[in-house]
Structure 1
Amino acid sequence: MSTLAPPGAASTPPPADGASESPPNDVVAPAWLYEAGGERATAWVDAHNERTRQEYASSPDFVRLANDLKSVLDCPDRIPAVADRAGMLYNFWTDADHPHGIWRRTSWESYAAGAPSRADRAPAPTSWETLLDLEALNAPGALPAELGCGSGEHLVWGGAHVLTTGPRAGRRALVCLSPGGGDASLTLEYDLDARRLIAPADGGFHRPTSKGTMTWGDDAGESVIVSADFGPGTVSRAGYPRQVRRLRRGQSLDEAEVLVTAGGDAVAAFASRDPWGRTWLTTMPSFQRTRIWLLPDDSDCPAGTGPARAALAGGAPAGTVTTPDGDTVPAGAIPLEVPEDSLAGVGRDWLTIQLRSPWEAGGVTHPAGTLLGAGLADFLAGRRRLEVLFAPSASSTLLSAAWTAGHLVLTVLDDVASRLEVCTPPSPEPAGAGASPASGTKWGHHWIDLTGAADRLGCPAVDDTELRPGRALLSVSAAALRPADTDYLWISASGWTTPSTLAVARLTPSGEITGMAVVRQAPARFDARGVRVSQHQATSADGTRVPYFQIGRPAPSSPPVLVHAYGAFGKSLVPGYEPVTGKAWLERGGTYVVVNTRGGGEYGPGWHLAGAGAGRRRVVEDLTAVLDSLVARGVTTPEDICLYGSSAGGLLTGEVLARCPERIGAAVLEAPLTDMRRYTQLSAGAAWTAEFGDPDDPEQWAWLREHSPLHLLQTGQAYPPVLLLASAADDRVHPAHARALAHRLEQLGQKVTYFETAAGGHGGGTTHAQQAFVSALTHDFARRHTRRGR
């Protein structure tokens, strides 16, 4: 589905310079720890990093593990993820010879030649054409100073937008690069014919380093749509751009046309151009709410004229209007009147609305989690003829949706295992009846069955906690290959012990799969012989069932168990092949457990909202119920459990560590939130108050304090060993969160291991060597500090 939703947490504000003023009795870490690049903070980090290297990296076993994991990440026969652009397949690739990566492309014929062997032929190596080598790009003098980040940080790949229309199709691209791997980035225009970046002085588009994006703004490549820091008043408190402009070739950013400016209290503004040439403007009053407008002059959509446009413009001359909510948009922009907390998407002629809360339309109240479909032109003109395309159940929710030229493909989670459904809209009415799609015919529906490669089928249940034993525990997903004009799909499938398979398939006019062919199949990266995959359920404090996956070999005695949880932002933890965890943990006899707490999206919007705000106690209760279930079932003991969480999962791990340390033997917190008193003043935290609460509101702080690990630690309480991981380049979750917790634990006389990378941002290391080191440290720490691993 061409989604009109915010781009996640892709842009965040700069780190705070210090801790905020604190209320009475607050726990305060030294202000200098909050200075990301401060001299004293750097010395503190360096000392802790050296101590960690001495304790871990000097071990021969650690070195072997790190090398093994780097080999897994560098493996030359892993599946190269590709995107079809103007008839060529593009890929960004890293390996031992290209540690910072190369951007490359190949033809369909060459890519298909590398498919798994058939009886009639053997696979042939794919012939790749290198377009940009980041190692060479970062060499001294390779990039003019006025185009770089200006701070000496290594530029990390951030993606590319290849122009797919007009005379420059396949010949020009916008390349995004990130200094140090953070969310801040710069964009440069690239000439695919000449294999070179085009300097602004030579007419190339350029977005200086800031949070934001740049995408193509027209078919000919003569304009771009830019969100960025344009100066005072154009960035929100959360650090996201509040303004989007259309920059035409030859203009400066100051001369660019302003398309939308979000209200002063909004989180962000952005714009997107869909595969059918329409430009959509969006503002975000909060992280879970959006307001959307269509610019009709950019499209041949019938909604470009008629009552919908007249209703908004009111006959006003060209210019801008300011909405009652404080957003400024062009006078002719047409509002998309859907609930602000819904997720809207568009196909060529259709609109989809995925509800996060109940919505009454046309006399019918549709529950949260429902996906509705409507003719786009009809809807924009005020007609509310909606059809239910997906209705949630107690066990199922919609994970995602993708449009091809003529079909909508849904990925549905059913007790956290996925399946695909194809929805086929009715044919358009005859031209004489108007341009809207037919309203009197129903959509067609077809299931796609891809369960044959399941981790387990027909295995008997081990105990009465198993959830629906015998079914496929598999993740499948679908993405449109080229939605503007084809019904081809990328289909991928994998499981906890099943390596990924990538296939291409075509949908017939009726929505059935035909011509499905496997184009890549990843080999196994770890020894999974004897590993059993099962799904269980625990009972939380309020009686809610909480599912979790258990992956490991049956053991006569308690194995070390690594438990992974997240529980926020509606993110779902689903089955998938994890070769690093397999190599570092499962292959060495450990058991891996993945927990689906509330706060996630595994059972739809209600599951998420039940764990948000004041309901966050349920997330902690869900996780502790699973920990207790593992012990009650005889899988392990508390001393053998290492709890792992990253980002918001690091917050959850920190909560369990501080509130019930007796339930675990060790904890790993990666890029965590820990200081919930100051989180809104650090990096992107101001955008997350709807998720966690506002600490500046005394009533909310009263319960939010009970979920702030930094404030929950107590003198005289014994805590298990803790590993804290962070990155100085993380401009999404400030490294001060990890530093402050480490400092506090050390004040209390507790065992702490701390490691902070200089680069990598929120997403982890910038090279496979760095990623392998951090992963080896995580798993080696977990093994050393669980009882059975000692």
Structure 2
Amino acid sequence: MTTVAKSTASNPADLPNDAPDPRGFLDEIDGEAAMAWVHAHNAASLAQLGQNPLFEQYRTEALKILEATDRVPAPNFATGGFVDNFWQDKDHVQGLWRRTNWDAYKSGQPDWQTILDIDALAKADGKTWVYGGSSCLPPANTRCLISLSDGGTDADEIREFDVTTKSFVKDGFFLPAGKQNASWRDADTIYVSREFTPGELTESGYAYVTKVLKRGQTLDQAVEIHRGEKTDVSAGRYPVRDITGAYVADASYRYLDYYHSQYSFHDGDRTVTFPLPTTSSFSALHEGQIVWWLKEDWTSASGRTFTSGSVIAFDFKQGMANPTAIEPALLFQPSAHESVEGISQTRNRLILTLSANVVGEIRAYSLKDGQWSSIRIELPENSTLSVGSADDESDRVFAWSSGFLQPSTLYLADAATGKVEKLRTAPSRFNAEGLQVQQHWATSKDGTRVPYFLVARKDIKLDGTTPTLLYAYGGFEVSMQPSYSGSLGKLWLEQGGAYALANIRGGGEFGPKWHEAGMKTNRQRIYDDFAAVGEDLIARKVTTPEHLGIMGGSNGGLLMGVQLTQRPDLWNAVVVQVPLLDMVNYTRMSAGASWQGEYGNPDDPVEGAFLRSISPYHNVKAGVAYPEPLFETSTKDDRVGPVHARKMAALFEDMSLPFYYYENTEGGHNAAANLQETARRYAIEYTYLAEKLMKK
């Protein structure tokens, strides 16, 4: 999609300080001029891609997969032997919160009873409600605080709901829309962190004031119990409970930046802050032990050193009595290629989800006579494993196993014995016959070996002609693991494409140090890692730049923008999803100020100079042959915001560079509020990729 030239400057994003921004009108999210621009470019992209017969084929096939009623309903343990599920299909676009009993679910023929119909609520309220989950008061868990956002924004409305009557409580707790948190203290008391006074938000746009709200009170009658600082990312206070639901203490937090937090615990008038690194994560309270996940090396008072990535625990009451003398027990210490992916608990066990060379393992830990021991849950090896739900009334765990070619399989695990029972496997959504998965290693610019997975035909011709899609994220310690995607398989692999997933630095695949290696001014390593994987695919003759495309979203969208501007020679298609792209001004856009711990401060001379050097918006140059990118975002995205993608696309337009642009007007940071919107987005992406990479 080509536009007329408007500028011949080397980069029109570089403006004199006193010059008006010609793309400034796009900063007004819902402004009339901005939305007219959005609708015009949406229409142009859909007209161009929609004329390809593949578009409707892909949309129909994707929607069929998304709305399939034979998929496995993801179960969650509920109080009293029930199983809950949130379900969406063609008849329930926004979704149902529903419940059945355990025996019925296990039988495979559950008699689902609707608790809350989000579609009916949306119709009654005239809103596009997106369900954000519930927080219920233990131990009965019949009174819940329901989160609802209009169109999928991070700002949500909170209402009190009675599960027994399946209705909202008349004159119950109600919090108008905002970026907020609410938690139960008791049946008539909640703690609320939100913007009580206009402007009383952090620079990142989150709450830092917590108040106690009693039943029947208005927000202006709530009493303050905790206050952070405006410079924090966010701050709050909430009740801490044990697995039975019994109140233990209050915890308060101040997120100093994205990776440093100050946790304090309150027992009556006593407040204690444990002498642990501010990078540590408070992960659980189990059998009287407080469990922490370390993100850097730490030495206790006795001189014992616990390494980064370890999980430790110590007696909570003893720690509260004498915090300077805590001597934790070591539960897990990772090797160089191991990491912790998650921590949960059942009634009597602590559950750690682990990864070794991006292959999963789940272990159950128990405490007896002051000593910790663990057993392996007997789930399939060489697959991605995850805990779907852990029961706080027993030691049962719903666990999932999946892979690129293996549909998700649900298991019931006994955390006390390690034994598992296969419950059901999702149907295959694409023909995987003849496909294989391989793990390769590329060598980055600084000599670091970087793993990646390649999904391709066993008889692939190593002549450089295979259309290949490369995906990565590379940030915030988020691990990219093999998973089953029916849409990817049906719309890409089944059509003859290959798929590569890169485990580049910045992620959490090999623990905190793998992430830290790419933070702030070291971030170029992440971009070098990704380029090295692309070059390795070419060196192996899997593909060539003509047939190689890349995709990534959010932080991965920034990765795509950098690859677009730094290595335009390597790719012929670039899908840039809900991205950050203006790294000079990102801290003043939506929630950008909260990510300085990851990216650095643009106002710092050293960090700011680096950010400008990699900022995609500031590094588009005249006279360079860029691949024609696809920019995707959402008007309702109040986390990253649509302005990054809008202004990058407008910059391309001003420089007469071809591009596609699509902005979903709902959906938030997920870029889709329902299954139909998701199917349309898939059709846009894969039609674009097919046109760019599958042509002869």
Question: TM-score band (shorter)?
Answer: over 0.9
Provide the residue aligned with 1:339 in structure 2: 277
Q: What is the CA deviation profile of residues 728-769 of structure 1, one whole-angstrom value per residue up to 9, with x for unaligned ones?
A: 000001101001111111222221000001100001211111
Provide the residue aligned with 2:3 in structure 1: none
Q: CA deviation at 1:24?
A: 5.2
Q: CA deviation at 1:624?
A: 0.6
* Partner residue of 1:403 out of 345, 356, 376: 345
Provide the residue aligned with 1:589 in structure 2: 496
Provide the residue aligned with 1:287 in structure 2: 258
Q: What is the CA deviation profile of residues 61-117 of structure 1, one whole-angstrom value per residue up to 9, with x for unaligned ones?
A: 211110110010001111212222222222221101111212211111221111xxx
> Does the CA contact (< 8 Å) of 1:535 and 1:549 recur in 2?
yes
* 1:103 and 2:86 correspond: no
Number of equivalenced pairs? 672
* 1:210 and 2:178 correspond: yes
Once residues 232 and 498 of structure 1 are traced to their aligned partners in structure 2, the CA distance between those partners, rounded to angstroms, is 50
* 1:496 and 2:404 correspond: yes
Provide the residue aligned with 2:219 in structure 1: 253
* 1:600 and 2:507 correspond: yes
Name the SS for the 2:160 alignment partner: strand
TM-align CA RMSD: 2.0
Letter in 2 for 1:203: D
Once residues 108 and 27 of structure 1 are traced to their aligned partners in structure 2, the CA distance between those partners, rounded to angstroms, is 63
* Partner residue of 1:56 out of 42, 46, 49: 49
* 1:135 and 2:119 correspond: yes
Letter in 2 for 1:163: L
Name the SS for the 1:683 alignment partner: coil
> Does the CA contact (< 8 Å) of 2:75 and 2:389 recur in 1?
no
Map of 1:682-701 to 2, 5 A cutoff? 682-701=589-608
Name the SS for the 2:542 alignment partner: coil
Deviates more, 1:404-413 or 1:612-621: 404-413
Deviates more, 1:375-384 or 1:660-669: 375-384
* Partner residue of 1:374 out of 314, 336, 341: 314
> Does the CA contact (< 8 Å) of 2:375 and 2:418 recur in 1?
no
Name the SS for the 1:789 alignment partner: coil
Once residues 107 and 274 of structure 1 are traced to their aligned partners in structure 2, the CA distance between those partners, rounded to angstroms, is 29
Q: Percent identity?
A: 34
Q: CA deviation at 1:519?
A: 2.8
Q: CA deviation at 1:153?
A: 4.5
> Does the CA contact (< 8 Å) of 2:88 and 2:96 recur in 1?
yes
> Does the CA contact (< 8 Å) of 1:27 and 1:710 recur in 2?
no
Letter in 2 for 1:238: S
Provide the residue aligned with 1:543 in structure 2: 447
Map of 1:241-390 to 2, 5 A cutoff? 241-276=207-242, 277-278=247-248, 279-297=250-268, 331-345=269-283, 346-361=285-300, 362-382=302-322, 383-390=325-332
Q: What is the CA deviation profile of residues 687-722 of structure 1, one whole-angstrom value per residue up to 9, with x for unaligned ones?
A: 011111111223221111111001111011110010
Residues 110 and 251 of structure 1, relative CA distance in 2, 3 Å threshold? same
* 1:634 and 2:634 correspond: no
The answer for unaligned runs of 5 or more in structure 1 is 1-18, 115-124, 144-151, 298-330, 428-437, 453-471
Q: CA deviation at 1:419?
A: 1.1
> Does the CA contact (< 8 Å) of 2:377 and 2:415 recur in 1?
no
* Partner residue of 1:175 out of 146, 154, 163: 146
Q: CA deviation at 1:22?
A: 6.6
> Does the CA contact (< 8 Å) of 1:20 and 1:681 recur in 2?
no
* Partner residue of 1:477 out of 374, 386, 390: 386
Once residues 57 and 525 of structure 1 are traced to their aligned partners in structure 2, the CA distance between those partners, rounded to angstroms, is 24
Once residues 168 and 695 of structure 2 are traced to their aligned partners in structure 1, the CA distance between those partners, rounded to angstroms, is 51
* 1:704 and 2:637 correspond: no
> Does the CA contact (< 8 Å) of 1:290 and 1:341 recur in 2?
yes
Deviates more, 1:74-83 or 1:530-539: 74-83
Q: What is the CA deviation profile of residues 432-461 of structure 1, one whole-angstrom value per residue up to 9, with x for unaligned ones?
A: xxxxxx3xxx32122234235xxxxxxxxx
Provide the residue aligned with 2:438 in structure 1: 534
Once residues 727 and 348 of structure 1 are traced to their aligned partners in structure 2, the CA distance between those partners, rounded to angstroms, is 44
* Partner residue of 1:565 out of 472, 480, 495: 472
Once residues 684 and 31 of structure 2 are traced to their aligned partners in structure 1, the CA distance between those partners, rounded to angstroms, is 26
Q: What is the CA deviation profile of residues 543-587 of structure 1, one whole-angstrom value per residue up to 9, with x for unaligned ones?
A: 100000101213224211111011111110011111111111111
TM-score (normalised: structure 1): 0.82
Residues 532 and 217 of structure 1, relative CA distance in 2, 3 Å threshold? same
Provide the residue aligned with 1:237 in structure 2: 203
> Does the CA contact (< 8 Å) of 2:210 and 2:237 recur in 1?
yes
Once residues 101 and 667 of structure 1 are traced to their aligned partners in structure 2, the CA distance between those partners, rounded to angstroms, is 32
* 1:417 and 2:324 correspond: no
Residues 388 and 670 of structure 1, relative CA distance in 2, 3 Å threshold? same
Residues 58 and 213 of structure 1, relative CA distance in 2, 3 Å threshold? farther
Residues 365 and 98 of structure 1, relative CA distance in 2, 3 Å threshold? same
Once residues 238 and 449 of structure 1 are traced to their aligned partners in structure 2, the CA distance between those partners, rounded to angstroms, is 43
Provide the residue aligned with 1:789 in structure 2: 695
Letter in 2 for 1:443: W
Once residues 778 and 27 of structure 1 are traced to their aligned partners in structure 2, the CA distance between those partners, rounded to angstroms, is 34
Letter in 1 for 2:415: L
Q: What is the CA deviation profile of residues 450-476 of structure 1, one whole-angstrom value per residue up to 9, with x for unaligned ones?
A: 235xxxxxxxxxxxxxxxxxxx2x111
> Does the CA contact (< 8 Å) of 1:85 and 1:162 recur in 2?
no
* Partner residue of 1:447 out of 363, 376, 391: 376
TM-score (normalised: structure 2): 0.93
Q: CA deviation at 1:233?
A: 5.3
Once residues 431 and 13 of structure 2 are traced to their aligned partners in structure 1, the CA distance between those partners, rounded to angstroms, is 50
Map of 1:130-209 to 2, 5 A cutoff? 130-139=114-123, 142-143=124-125, 153-165=127-139, 169-198=140-169, 202-209=170-177
Q: CA deviation at 1:29?
A: 5.6
Name the SS for the 1:575 alignment partner: coil
* 1:91 and 2:107 correspond: no
Name the SS for the 1:662 alignment partner: coil
Q: CA deviation at 1:134?
A: 2.0
Once residues 390 and 194 of structure 1 are traced to their aligned partners in structure 2, the CA distance between those partners, rounded to angstroms, is 44
Relative contact order higher in (CA < 8 Å, ≥ 6 apart): 2
> Does the CA contact (< 8 Å) of 2:52 and 2:687 recur in 1?
no
Provide the residue aligned with 1:391 in structure 2: 333
* Partner residue of 1:750 out of 654, 657, 662: 657
Residues 789 and 426 of structure 1, relative CA distance in 2, 3 Å threshold? farther
